[in-house]
Chains A and B, each alone.
Chain A
Amino acid sequence: DTVMTQSPDSLAVSLGERATFNCKSSQSVLYSSNNKNYLAWYQQKPGQPPKLLIYWASTRESGVPDRFSGGGSGTDFTLTISSLQAEDVAVYYCQQYYTTPTFGQGTKVEIK
């Protein structure tokens, strides 16, 4: 299985500041025939199911605020929250779907 490793495990950011965290896959998730990265990001708040934020590494799901952006290619990816809001406190997971779906261990985002 493709192992997904996220960093850091937790992050404390002041309201209005930028939050950036990383996801690394043990093998490339870039499919050369369509030049798409098979990588998604989810947000999970306490007691709730995951919510899809980003797919194809950088495409925002409908209704997701534009302060969320995804980047990267191949094996290294980032999720950025440009201006952290109180409602963004959550655990964020990356998932690859290039092969049997696997998820990272999550990055917990808190307010500093």
Chain B
Amino acid sequence: QVQLVQSGAEVKKPGASVKLSCKASGYTFTNYAMHWVRQAPGQRLEWMGWINAGNGKTKYSQKFQGRVTITRDTSASTAYLELSSLRSEDTSVYYCARGERELVYYYMDVWGEGTTVTVSS
């Protein structure tokens, strides 16, 4: 079955970086895209960015431009999210979610279980 398995919880200090992973299985990784969406406690879902898993093309939310990098390793069927200069407001659950390969603006049909990132001194 189609599945996205995300890496484990992280605790980071302000100013640090974090790199999260999302391993896909049950489908051809390079035929789709991967979105990253986060959800702070009690807040709405917030889109961060997207990667075309086929050609590696990316698009980021303006809010995170300069702080976020999304990459993928096709040999491992894994997408990555790296967020730098962490601050307390980045404390959230981070989800990867499958999307349409050629279109950034699309719905997300399969979601990972989420990775909790806590930023605290």
Are B111 and A49 in contact, with the CB atoms below 8 A?
yes
**A-B pairs with lowest CB-CB distance, top 8:** A49-B111, A40-B107, A103-B45, A101-B47, A55-B107, A97-B105, A105-B44, A103-B44
Interface residues on A, range: 20 to 34
Are B61 and A52 in contact, with the CB atoms below 8 A?
no
- Given that A100-B61, A101-B35 are known contacts, is A50 also in contact with B109, CB under 8 Å in the complex? no
Which of the listed residues A51, A52, A101, A102 has the most CB atoms from chain B within 10 Å of its own CB?
A101
B29 to chain A: which residues have CB within 8 Å? none
A61 to chain B: which residues have CB within 8 Å? 109
- Pick 20 A–B contacts, CB within 8 A, sort by A: A40-B107, A50-B45, A50-B97, A50-B111, A51-B111, A52-B107, A52-B108, A61-B109, A95-B107, A95-B108, A97-B105, A98-B105, A99-B105, A100-B61, A101-B35, A101-B37, A101-B105, A104-B44, A105-B44, A106-B44
- Write the residues of chain B forming the contact surface with A, with a CB cutoff of 8 angstroms: 35, 37, 44-47, 61-62, 95, 97, 105-114
Are B107 and A49 in contact, with the CB atoms below 8 A?
no
The residue in chain A whose Cβ has the minimal distance to the Cβ of B4 is A49
Verify if A38 is at the interface (C-beta below 8 Å from B).
yes
The residue in chain A whose Cβ has the minimal distance to the Cβ of B105 is A97
- Given that A49-B114, A100-B61 are known contacts, is A95 also in contact with B105, CB under 8 Å in the complex? no
Q: How many A-B residue contacts, CB cutoff 8 Å?
A: 50
- Given that A100-B61, A101-B35 are known contacts, is A52 also in contact with B109, CB under 8 Å in the complex? yes
B44 to chain A: which residues have CB within 8 Å? 93, 103-106
- Write the residues of chain A forming the contact surface with B, with a CB cutoff of 8 angstroms: 38, 40, 48-52, 55, 61, 93, 95, 97-106
Q: How far is the CB of B37 from chain A (nearest CB, A)?
A: 8
Are B47 and A102 in contact, with the CB atoms below 8 A?
yes
Q: What 10 new A-B contacts, CB under 8 Å, besides A52-B108, A95-B108, A97-B106?
A: A49-B95, A49-B113, A50-B45, A50-B95, A52-B109, A55-B107, A55-B109, A101-B35, A101-B105, A103-B47
